[in-house]
Chain A
Amino acid sequence: MTEELLGVAEDVVRKARALGADACEAYVCTIDGAVVENIGPLVGARDIQDSGIAVRLVSGGKAGGANVYGTSSRSVERVVEDALAYARSLPEEGRLPTFPAPASLPAPSAVDPRLASPDPDALAAEAAVLAGALRRGEGVTYYSASLKTRAYAFAVANTQGVGAWDRDAAQSLALEVRVTEGGVHRTATDQTSGRAPASDVRDLTELAGEAVARARSALVSKPLPASTDEAVLDPVAFAQLLKVWVPSLNGSLARAGRTRLAGRLGECVASERLTIVDAPQGPGGARNQRMDDTGVATRALTVLRRGVLEAFVYGNAGAAAAGTTSTGHDYRPSDQRWGGGLAVRATNLQVAPGTATMDDLVKGVERGVVVRDGLMGAFAANDASGDFSLVCPLAFYVEKGAVQHALPPTTLAGNVHDLLAGIEDVGRDLRPLMRGGIPAVRARGIRAA
């Protein structure tokens, strides 16, 4: 299949050249996947078999781009014609794309065969196990459980001579459970994501039981006695806030002065306890690719070492403008990868683990909160400034290292750059999530109220 995709990509490039393109890049991708969602007793299943082509090209000094569904010869003709028509009809010269030259690539990563060809019936059976365990929990009045598997195969070819293919596959699990007692409702969520079936990573029945217990532990709550600036964030909450920070690693944005990390390469921008590597081959993370979506080889890149900013991430265009080389971070971010444009981003952050258990982290809190679930509103945080203002639906008040009581939903506000600077300890257990391998942390500088 991958060799066939490469043939299609090369065909696109040939056709574009034949029709007058000066330079061209073709990205061809197929997705084989399945989604099963248990929303309470309602079960929905969706089978995914999808494919498409994305083209970027230059013609007459103008840039054009187009995407199309399918990989048939008709799709090839249509996408080339669309991209050329766009380039030729533009009223002025835009910014021209930069296509990389071929480079040696590592061998393709191994893909779990159970994810490479997803079996919808097996996925439905696993989701049913998870949903059943949630449903049986004490006091449960609502539950949902979803499993998604996606296997990608893709190829890239360009007029510089790049012609390569790659593949990756991942499964993600998400659950939500609400317990009700005496008219009080509390909800817990959980998630995991990785390159093996979720049931290999966690026992699904235990996972459900832990979520129910977490929700139940917050049924009796008291307000925070006074605002605090010390917090322990569980891996899901920390991952959500790291997502706000990730755009500031974009070297092009930094050069343009659009992020708080602008001009700070080599400086201490975070706690010395924090080391973060963007590791395409690490556990967890959104992508496990030997090359990025333009054919540039990926490699582990330490962006933060003991709090010092060591590197920005670049795609081809940003690197050319900065007089440096791409770090292999041009990605197509949408689920349907050919359907959108390229974005520069770190995809698989691996936070170097510390030695602390969750209990150790809590013991280090003088007066603060421990966040034990995802945060509401993290997606709406301001990634230009780093400001966030959100809500912890499931948190506990901690005094002198001991959990005192559960809290009603509590606000958490601050700036993600200040948060990273204020990290005092890092947990030892990495959770495989879409953002990467992420631990729990203890930090100062974020205000709970």
Chain B
Amino acid sequence: MATEEVGAWVDRLRSLASKAAGLDGFEVRGEVREDRKYVMDGRDVKAVRRSRLGGVSLRAWASGASAYAFSTDPSPAAVDALVERTTRSALAGARQGARGFGAAIETRKATYRPSVKGHPGEASHEEVLALVRRSQEAALATAPGGKATSSFGFADRRVVRSDSAGSWVETASLQSTLFTQVVVREDGRFGEYLELAGGERGVGDYVGEAAPEHIGTEAARLARENSVAGPAPAGRHRVLTDHHLSGLLAHESFGHLTEFDLVAPGWSLLKGRRGERFASDAVSIVDAPVSPDGRRIGIRVPVDDEGTRGEAVRLLDRGELKAFLHVRGSAAPEGDVPTGNGRALDVRYPPIVRMRNTYFEPGESTFDEALEQLGDGLYLCGGRGGAPHSDGSFMFTSQRGYRVERGEIVAPVRGPSIYGNIFDFLGGIETLTSDFGIFTNYFGGCGKWDQSFLHVGVGGPHVLVREALVGGHA
């Protein structure tokens, strides 16, 4: 289905919804999305798949209650039923006194398109598989006895959005990722590592540190290193986190607490604390629609799924809580402007407050200076994921780590989890380096409620924290 067909579908639904009685407002979203995945296992092409999604959704508001439904069936009967179901649910919610964020619809007209080198949707299978094969060969050459899997995937998403105020916004986005995972068994011990590069990248954008040879070699090298790594010492330690872990920290430990649909109901302990200081002047955390250095290494959300233009939001500005992330309906009651964070997994889900590229701003130290300042502690790298808790605590898991003594890396340790409380953690940041990296993964992302996994970017510099609880390994 082409974007034009979705547009016609959206137009028809908008026309029907405008005739529904009792609604305060509505918005209509149509989407056509294509995903492709290429997988190599050993030297075999294991799978090549193409997945299409197309549909329209209707979100309707009535007396403070909202309802959401979607259809992947373009038939007139299905569209009629969609309007009827959504209207009925919104009105039923209003009668029961259910309350959500309001409509806050405004008029916008805009079109956005990505620009990449070699859109993978237009590349031949041979070109795409060549990337996968190069990474796989590099991995198998570096760990000859190891097991390697490499994969390339991308999502090409086109959205048309309209509403009862007459807005019309068309957007196109691309997220792709190349990864290699290696498992080795040396002297009876397993080691595993997954290396990847992703973002708004075309086939021709996988160069430099995103080059397939680099990804494959690093995955194999670090899997072998993990197989001989010793256990991480459990307990409280001084910790230096790399770019990726720093990004997880910014996203999990702080970013979620600034999502206003978690602030308003009291989940976030940041409710009512705007203007409060949580860290030193050196610490700032930003959520931005594009990566800060302009390179296509994060995600790109120039306009969100509510049609709001994305702006960079300084959540923590030189240690002080400055702003929250909003959907359109949550901003006005708080006296804020919409921030462009209304994002949906796809047309089957309503937009909720989601982060985009969330990162610590770099500081001034070099990596060597930070290591020296760490003294005795742990240098933790890479991330398998993390989770925040409503009491301000969080945990995330590293992919690898190193014991550091007197400012020198002395031995690898198996990547432990790290646990802390956001308020202690931010207050304990001693140094941020001047280098910077940001990461995104088509095959994973952020989970919130039943919308998992949404593509996000996480990043920052190396961050030195005075103390964190490290889980270690038995």
Do chains A and B stick together as partners? yes
Chain A residues packing against B (C-beta within 8 Å): 35, 37, 39-52, 63-70, 72, 78-79, 82-83, 86, 89-95, 120-121, 124, 128, 141-142, 144, 146, 148, 176, 178, 185-187, 227, 229, 256-258, 260, 336, 339-341, 376-377, 379-382, 384-385, 387, 389-391, 393, 409, 411-415, 418, 445-447, 449
Which residues of the other chain, A, contact B384 by a CB distance below 8 angstroms?
Answer: 380, 382
What separation, in Å, do the CA atoms of A449 and B232 have in the docked complex?
Answer: 13
- Shortest Cβ distance from B192 into A: residue: A384
Report whether B391 and A185 are in contact in the complex, using a CB–CB cutoff of 8 Å. yes
Interface string of B423-449 (1 = CB under 8 A from A): 000000000000000000000000001
B328 contacts partner chain A, Cβ-Cβ < 8 Å: no
Report whether B53 and A69 are in contact in the complex, using a CB–CB cutoff of 8 Å. yes
> Interface size class for chain B?
35 or more
What separation, in Å, do the CA atoms of A63 and B41 have in the docked complex?
Answer: 15
What separation, in Å, do the CA atoms of A52 and B70 have in the docked complex?
Answer: 14
Told that A37-B450, A46-B450, A86-B125 touch, could you supply 20 new A-B pairs with CB distance under 8 A?
A: A43-B65, A44-B100, A45-B67, A45-B89, A63-B47, A90-B125, A128-B96, A141-B266, A142-B390, A186-B391, A229-B474, A257-B185, A380-B384, A385-B190, A387-B414, A409-B393, A411-B419, A413-B472, A445-B474, A449-B234
- Shortest Cβ distance from B234 into A: residue: A449
What separation, in Å, do the CA atoms of A423 and B31 have in the docked complex?
Answer: 50
Report whether B89 and A47 are in contact in the complex, using a CB–CB cutoff of 8 Å. yes
B365 contacts partner chain A, Cβ-Cβ < 8 Å: no
B396 contacts partner chain A, Cβ-Cβ < 8 Å: yes
Report whether B55 and A412 are in contact in the complex, using a CB–CB cutoff of 8 Å. no
Q: How many A-B residue pairs have CB under 8 A?
A: 246
Which residues of the other chain, A, contact B394 by a CB distance below 8 angstroms?
Answer: 376
Specify which of A78, A178, A377 is in contact with B387 (CB 8 Å cutoff): A377
Interface string of B77-103 (1 = CB under 8 A from A): 000000001100100110010111100
- Shortest Cβ distance from B81 into A: residue: A49
Report whether B46 and A391 are in contact in the complex, using a CB–CB cutoff of 8 Å. no
Query: Can you give 6 A-B contacts (C-beta < 8 A)?
Result: A42-B261, A43-B99, A49-B71, A63-B48, A258-B147, A449-B235
What separation, in Å, do the CA atoms of A387 and B471 have in the docked complex?
Answer: 11
Report whether A411 and B472 are in contact in the complex, using a CB–CB cutoff of 8 Å. yes
If A67-B49, A390-B471 touch, whether A47 touches B389 (CB-CB below 8 Å) is: no
If A67-B51, A385-B190 touch, whether A178 touches B473 (CB-CB below 8 Å) is: no
Report whether A41 and B99 are in contact in the complex, using a CB–CB cutoff of 8 Å. yes
- Shortest Cβ distance from B69 into A: residue: A47
What separation, in Å, do the CA atoms of A418 and B474 have in the docked complex?
Answer: 10
Report whether B54 and A412 are in contact in the complex, using a CB–CB cutoff of 8 Å. no
Report whether B397 and A413 are in contact in the complex, using a CB–CB cutoff of 8 Å. no
Q: How far is the CB of A414 from chain B (nearest CB, A)?
A: 4
Which residues of the other chain, A, contact B124 by a CB distance below 8 angstroms?
Answer: 89
Which residues of the other chain, A, contact B419 by a CB distance below 8 angstroms?
Answer: 376, 391, 409, 411
- Shortest Cβ distance from B393 into A: residue: A409
Q: How far is the CB of B464 from chain A (nearest CB, A)?
A: 21
Which residues of the other chain, A, contact B44 by a CB distance below 8 angstroms?
Answer: 94-95
B20 contacts partner chain A, Cβ-Cβ < 8 Å: no
